[in-house]
Amino acid sequence: MTAMTMAGAINRGMRAAMERDPKVLLMGEDIGQLGGVFRVTDGLWKDFGPDRVMDTPLAESGIVGTAIGMAMRGYRPVIEIQFDGFIFPAFDQITTQLAKMHYRSRGLINLPVVIRVPFAGHIGAVEHHSESPEALFAHTPGLRIVSPATPQDAYDMIQQAIASPDPYLFFEPKARYWDKAEVDEARVATQLSGEHGASAATAELSRGRVAREGKDVTLVAYGPTVRLAMQVADVAASEGRSIEVVDLRSISPLDSATVVRSAKRTGRVVIVHEAPTAFGTGAELAARVMEQAFFHLHAPVLRVGGFSTPYPGSKFEHDYLPNLDRVLDAVDRVMTH
């Protein structure tokens, strides 16, 4: 076990993937000698060289298009989009090419591209630096979308995504980059060295986890809001309420089965994410819970998220984002039924 920050865990995970497979290479703006804006690629350019850790022009559509071409020739590109709001120039390449090439070719072409996206708020940034666009991509068939909440998951999931034959958007909660925890480096290495390593990695990446067991309310989160959910569970416990926290990990596909099992146990569900609640991941998940666990529910499924406005300036982001009081209020409301 080694203590790592989330940023350090992603770095170590990419290093392990590059050592395991010479076809894995990194691309992005300022990821080389600088090590990236958040220093997530720090040291990799020095150890692997500019042919495998490539600084690119400021052209996100060109970066993704180049990665698609390289994947068609057998490489495994890992792209860094410098900030979440900068991904939109590449939206066309991601949704019309990357997501559809495997289907369009009737399975003849695989595109093992991983797009790393530092996303979400709580860093006091300027416009276009705190977006949560995951639902836009989850609506597009052919893409897999995941978000780690802990250093252990960050270390494991980046390697699993790189090993998979499918294209991944890897949403990294940048406000959690400096969270530190113990990481077991052996587990994922054993999985990937097995005969069915790639398929096992893809299957595991599609599963959520119960981060904390409880019996009164199921609180569902992913990425940046998992720590908030755990804090809510702590406060609720001091008030005599037992909260079960489910970390989705995967946004597409959604592991609704894990959430539904929890909902049937508790009878109450609250979903929290930083993205606007309108048309978001929580809306899709709430619909599935209502369809599959309706007769077990004691209250309507509630969602807590960002408001239906553009992301505000840094002085107001704490008014916009879900916080302890807003989530506890939702817990109170489902408990009154």
The residue annotated as part of the active site, out of 102, 122, 128, 129, is: 129
The pair of three-digit structure tokens given for residue 172, joined into one six-digit string: 């990294």
Comparing C-alpha atoms, which of 159, 166, 284, 176 is closest to residue 220?
284
For residue 75, give the H/E element and its range. none
Question: ∠ CA 149-13-17 to the nearest 5 degrees?
Answer: 140
Q: Is 24 left (phi over 0), alpha (psi -120 to 50) or beta?
A: beta
Extended strands (E) in 94-236: 114-119, 144-146, 168-173, 180-183, 209-212, 217-221
State yes or no: is 296 an active-site residue.
Answer: no
For residue 26, give the H/E element and its range. strand 24-28
Q: Cβ distance 170 to 115 under 8 Å?
A: yes
Q: Output DSSP code: residue 70.
A: H
SS3 216: coil
For residue 15, give the H/E element and its range. helix 6-20
Q: Which residue has the tokens 């606007």?
A: 276
Q: Which residues pair with 54 in a beta bridge?
A: 27
| DSSP output for 250-318 | EEETT-HHHHHHHHHHHS-EEEEEEEESTTSHHHHHHHHHHHHHGGG-SS--EEEEE-SSPPPPGGGHH
List the catalytic residues: 129
